[in-house]
Amino acid sequence: MKQITTYQNQKVLVLGLAKSGEQAARLLKKLGALVTANDAKPFDDNPAAKSLVDAGIRVIAGSNPLSLLDEDFALIVKNPGIPYDNSLIKAAQASNIPIITEVELAAQVNEALLIGVTGTNGKTTVTTMITQMLNQHRTLGQAKFAGNIGVPATEVVQTLGKDDVMVTELSSFMLAGIKTLHPHIAVITNMYTAHTDWHGSREAYVAAKMNITKNQTPDDFLIMNWDLPEQRQLAQQSRATVITFSQKGAPQTDAYVANDQLMWRGEVIMPIDQLAVPGEQNVANALAALAAAKMAGTSNAAIADALRAFTGVRHRLQYVMTYQQRQVYNDSKATDIEATQVALRGFQQPVILLAGGLDRGFTFDRLVPDFKAHVKAVVLFGQTQALLADVAKQAGIQTIRFAKDAPAAVPMAFELSEPGDVILLSPANASWDQFPSFEVRGDQFIDAVEAYTNQKEQHV
């Protein structure tokens, strides 16, 4: 980590705690800042706030008082989830107080090679794949993942030096608050429609995603999905050298599929059937990851060995177990329609689908063809269960059941299934109507599966 004096004796407000806010506050204190942490959660129910007080950091918990801005802060480090229409943020903007997110702070002290990964779907898988590829056969330094993957960048950056690599998963919320963050290698896995309730429009969402490349130069690399026409247009906005990948084998791409092989500029990396994770989406993920690894100087052999050993990421089309010839998968991270479409298309077997969640005002008609092709029965829950039931009826699915929530759907799914079926949690919705996060939803689903089968989650 670089030692900087930018924040020495500067008053800095960390707005919103959780893991990233807590670590940002700790880093700022280490850099000599006069830190105030503010979180709306009451102090008595706020472990992060208590931990910061124990570390000698001032904490104001229980509300976000506008009077805080009377203290003449030089900077606000905002939790990525706090929208810009928050009253305190709007008042700070009116007062011209700089506002950044935690990953921007981490980037300011980073001296490792920085790889950034964003996109609507696949970014956690690609981030993990890249990290494992870069550590395969490595003899100097190490690669570590950070960011939206669940490990604060401000925590990881303190452990890295010039011989290391930080592979950072960057959400649109994070990227909306960057100033100088400059990945040498940036990856955009894909771009669909998501989080428009937060950003206000799809255009604003896309603009936030494209911030990943705004500070890049021709000496840097931007890896983009050449199977998506929009990506080809967006690539023209970047000054970076564009590196392309194509699952469909588009002409003149760098990483692509040919003759059922993963290829890099005419060289065979490995056969697709040697990938340890199922589904077409993981072929695309592997192509994006190998392109990043190649630009970081990784050998073909290291890439292939890493992909053969990669068995998936928790909550992302994660294999849980096989019980009485039923395969069970946890895809709780499928918080949008496209992710569920991708999951369903990865299976040839009949699927018992568990779905539902937060109503964001979307319709689900796009799921009708995938339901027709892949789904045998549905067990639905959450605010969107009626909307999804209508889709199931349009698809001609006869067996439609309703459950209180995802864990309660598990016994029903097993009862509706037969040997050879897949039981798949792939909600197509955010979790926030019933769960604090998709991780909690997935964990409780796995707990329910383990309780029903009386056997433990399997790691393959």
Long-range CB contacts for residues 237-246, cutoff 8 Å, separation at least 24: 237/210, 237/213, 238/210, 238/213, 239/213, 240/186, 240/213, 240/216, 243/291, 243/295, 244/291, 245/284, 245/287, 245/288, 245/291, 246/287
Residues 1, 109: contact at Cβ < 8 Å? yes
β-strand partners of 113: 165
From the number of C-beta atoms within 10 Å of its C-beta (0-12, 13-18, 19+), residue 199 rates as buried
In whole angstroms, what is the distance from residue 283 CA to residue 315 CA? Answer: 18
Using alpha carbons, list the distances in angstroms from residue 9 to 33, 34, 75, 90, 155: 5, 6, 12, 25, 21
Q: Taking each helix axis as running N to C, give the angle between helix 18-30 and helix 102-109, from 0 to 180 degrees, rounded to the nearest 10.
A: 40
In whole angstroms, what is the distance from residue 76 CA to residue 98 CA? Answer: 6
CA-based nearest residue to 214, from 126, 116, 128, 147: 116
Which residues, other chains included, contact 371 with Cβ-Cβ below 8 Å and sequence gap of 6+?
344, 353, 378, 391, 392, 394, 395, 397
Question: Which residue numbers belong to the known binding site for ATP?
Answer: 119-125
By DSSP bridging, strand 326-330 and strand 318-323 are antiparallel
Q: Taking each helix axis as running N to C, give the angle between helix 438-453 and helix 406-416, from 0 to 180 degrees, rounded to the nearest 10.
A: 40
Tokens of 336: 């949008």
Query: How many other C-beta atoms are found inside a 10 Å radius of the C-beta of residue 312?
Result: 20
Question: Which residue numbers belong to the known binding site?
Answer: 119-125
What burial letters (b/e) apply to 438-449, b meaning 16+ CB within 10 Å?
Answer: beebbbbbbebb
In whole angstroms, what is the distance from residue 302 CA to residue 381 CA? Answer: 43
Indicate if the alpha-carbon torsion angle 70, 81, 132, 289 is positive or negative.
negative
